[in-house]
Chains A and B, each alone.
Chain A
Amino acid sequence: MNQALRLTDLPAHLRAGIYRYDSTDRDFLAARVEEFRDQVARRISGELTEDQFKPIRLMNGLYLQLHAYMLRIAIPYGVLSAVQLRQLAVLARRFDRGYGHFTTRQNLQLNWIKLEDAADALAALAEADLHAIQTSGNCIRNVTTDEYAGVARDEIVDPRVYAEILRQWSTLHPEFTYLPRKFKIAITGSTEDRAAVQVHDIGLTIRRDEAGEIGFRVHVGGGLGRAPVIGSVISEFVPEADLIAYLEAILRVYNAQGGRENIHKARIKFLVRDLGIDGFRALVDEEFAAMQRERYRLDPAHVAAIAARFAPPALETLADTAITDPDPAFAIWQAQNTRPNRTPGYVSVTLSLKPVGGIRGGMTADQMDAVAELADTYSLSELRVTHIQNLVLPHVRAIDLPVLWRALTALGLATPNIGLLSDIIACPGLDYCSLANARSIPVAQALSARFADLARQHDIGPLTLNISGCINACAHHHVGHIGILGVDRNGEEYYQVTLGGSATDDAALGAIVGPSFPADGIVDAVETIVQTYLTLRQDGESFLAAYRRLGLAPFRETLYAAA
């Protein structure tokens, strides 16, 4: 790995909470890279046609976008080591243009990859125990989870253990490599859902029963895209031992009965809708009952072995103390971008990848290197990628916050806007994506500039704003408090607005406010929505709460008053 170390070369205190590959993992990845190298060579020589090659490259995370190939790199459940982040910087410099974009699937996308370099890029990834397998295709994609897994105060059970079990189960699963359509699983282990489990094909919430035994509430059939659906509960409690068997039963029913003729009606949500949740459950129960359960039983020893790989880091015995700094800007940042861990004296720090006028989720290779250094110094060499397109340092001593804040400020990563209006989720949109109908990034940049006044953002309070460049909804616009969807009208960009979405425990789909707005009117439209809220809100009432009280009507009236 060039000058970098493998994870296993690091002392234990510098590899906390990172799943560590063994020789089997590494041998497999090396073989897979060489297989792909041969496939690329056969494509370039003309032995393989594009129709033959396309599914192969997609299975290795390589898309062809508007201007170049794009490599989507899996960051398993968003957990990343400093070593791995440095290697991503190496890839960004060597194979791309010196930057990358973090996504709502907790992945990283490099937008300027050459086909002839693709195998070398995958080989470089493998050196850091990373890959791009199953970041595309009709298979089970990267499992996502809570960015505060393992450190959150409200956590019941660490979801990384089960996310890793699901990763191992789903990677190259021979039965589920050609599903009717892609399949996304999210898992949370806390009382607050920070993983948007209700809008995934399967959403898992870890619980304990009265005896303290671990199990899972299972949502199924959630999803966004052109037919957004909040998932239905198919089981309130699947015991830990049966997790794999139960998910296998769901996938089997979907694989056998899901639609394959119409790509737009092939996700599991359509099957659940057509059968009804009770009808779908009956088929899953039937399949589950017929399975050789012992064969799929999740062995407690195996769970314990996986859990050992996420052993709690060696932390100091500290007390929770108030941290202050003479600079008043520190207190604002501390309040907005940090949260206390369950271990006293430690906090999680969210690095905002959302500066004023910046590209949401974008990061330069130089920033990656610098953040890796900060992770080594302040966070036991560990980071998290959030589905909000930010990064988290999860193991920071609170007493280190002032010096860390100054370092992050110098890097442009300390904008105190986490959870505020300018913490916008935006997909790559028409500037990069071949599926997009309209641009997302410039709209997000313009909105962040319009609302650059942080005092005003803090006055507005918690507000999520998500912008997707097409109905595929990569930015989850349906579940933004304010959602913006780019549409094409005769070659021109227009933007449809939804209000009232939510991705957390009170998951809801936004309602379309009215006719869409032209590109030069969308920022003013958001301004009007915000002003309407500020005028009508009651004391302490958040945007979402005000919308739920008021409904669409007052927003429609102000938005379309001049029409």
Chain B
Amino acid sequence: MSGTRKARRAAAVAITANRLLDGAVVWRTGTGDWSETFADAAVIAPDVLDTTLAADPLVVGIYAAALTEHATPASWKERIRAFGPTIGQDAAP
């Protein structure tokens, strides 16, 4: 099942992408800007997805990430994207 299809079945979604210049994970805020902080992400209803996924030259690979009913990332993958590697941000050996 694709991410978008999963997102349509989620309790809520957040729009996310990677920033073009450095690849950093970013989240779309309520004002339409991009933030590196997951807490800044606008939580939206899945049924408005079609109007929120327009291309943006500042980012790459826009998609809707599924959230739980508590507005947290629903999958391990999105948790790691939101909060960084579980082995630490500076995961030196």
Contacts and interface: CB of A to CB of B under 8 A. Distances in A.
Interface of A: 43-44, 46, 50, 64-69, 97-99, 113-116, 353, 355, 358-359, 362-364, 367, 430-432, 436-439, 441-442, 445, 488, 491-493
A483 to B, nearest CB: 21
B52 interface: no
B32 interface: no
A438 B75 CA distance: 10
A362 B93 CA distance: 5
Contacts of A115: 20-23
B90 A97 contact: yes
Interface of B: 18, 20-25, 57, 60-61, 74-77, 80-81, 84-87, 90-93
A64 B91 contact: no
Contacts of B80: 66, 430-431, 439
12 contacts: A46-B57, A67-B25, A97-B90, A359-B87, A359-B92, A364-B93, A430-B76, A430-B77, A430-B80, A431-B80, A432-B85, A439-B76
Given A67-B25, A69-B22, A431 B91 contact: yes
A353 B84 CA distance: 23
B76 A68 contact: no
A68 B22 CA distance: 6
A400 B86 CA distance: 40
Given A430-B76, A439-B76, A442-B86, A44 B24 contact: no
B87 A431 contact: yes
Nearest to A116: B21
Contacts of B84: 67
A426 B91 CA distance: 15
A438 B79 CA distance: 12
B22 A114 contact: yes
Contacts of B77: 66, 430, 436-437, 488, 491
A65 B25 CA distance: 10
Nearest to A62: B23
Given A430-B80, A491-B76, A68 B93 contact: no
Decide if the interface of chain B is mainly helix, strand, loop or mixed: loop
A346 B28 CA distance: 60
Q: Which 5 pairs between the two chains have the least Cβ-Cβ distance?
A: A362-B93, A491-B75, A431-B85, A68-B23, A114-B22
A359 B93 CA distance: 5
Nearest to B84: A67
Nearest to B93: A362
A99 B93 contact: yes
B60 A50 contact: yes
A466 B85 CA distance: 20
Nearest to A115: B21
B8 to A, nearest CB: 15
Contact of B75 (A353, A364, A441, A488): A488
Given A430-B76, A431-B87, A442-B87, A64 B60 contact: yes
Central interface residue in A64, A67, A441, by most chain B CB within 10 Å: A67
Contact of A99 (B25, B86, B92): B92
Given A67-B23, A364-B93, 8 more contacts: A46-B57, A66-B25, A99-B92, A362-B92, A362-B93, A364-B92, A439-B76, A491-B77
A493 B25 CA distance: 21
A96 B20 CA distance: 17
A355 B93 CA distance: 9
Contacts of A99: 91-93
A116 B22 contact: yes
Given A430-B77, A441-B87, A98 B23 contact: no
Contacts of B61: 50, 64
Contacts of A355: 93
A68 B92 contact: no
B76 A69 contact: no
A380 to B, nearest CB: 26
A438 B76 contact: yes
B92 to A, nearest CB: 4
Contact of A67 (B20, B75, B85, B93): B85
Nearest to A360: B93
A436 B77 CA distance: 8
B81 to A, nearest CB: 5
A327 to B, nearest CB: 25
B21 A114 contact: yes
Contacts of A98: 90, 92
B93 A445 contact: no
A467 B87 CA distance: 16
B23 A44 contact: no
Contacts of B21: 44, 114-116
A492 B92 CA distance: 26
A436 B20 CA distance: 21
Nearest to B18: A64
A198 B92 CA distance: 34
A46 B87 CA distance: 35
A359 B91 contact: yes
Given A50-B60, A64-B60, A114 B76 contact: no
Nearest to B92: A99
Contacts of A436: 77
Contacts of B76: 430, 438-439, 488, 491-493
Contact of A491 (B20, B74, B87): B74
Contacts of B75: 488, 491
Contacts of B81: 66-67
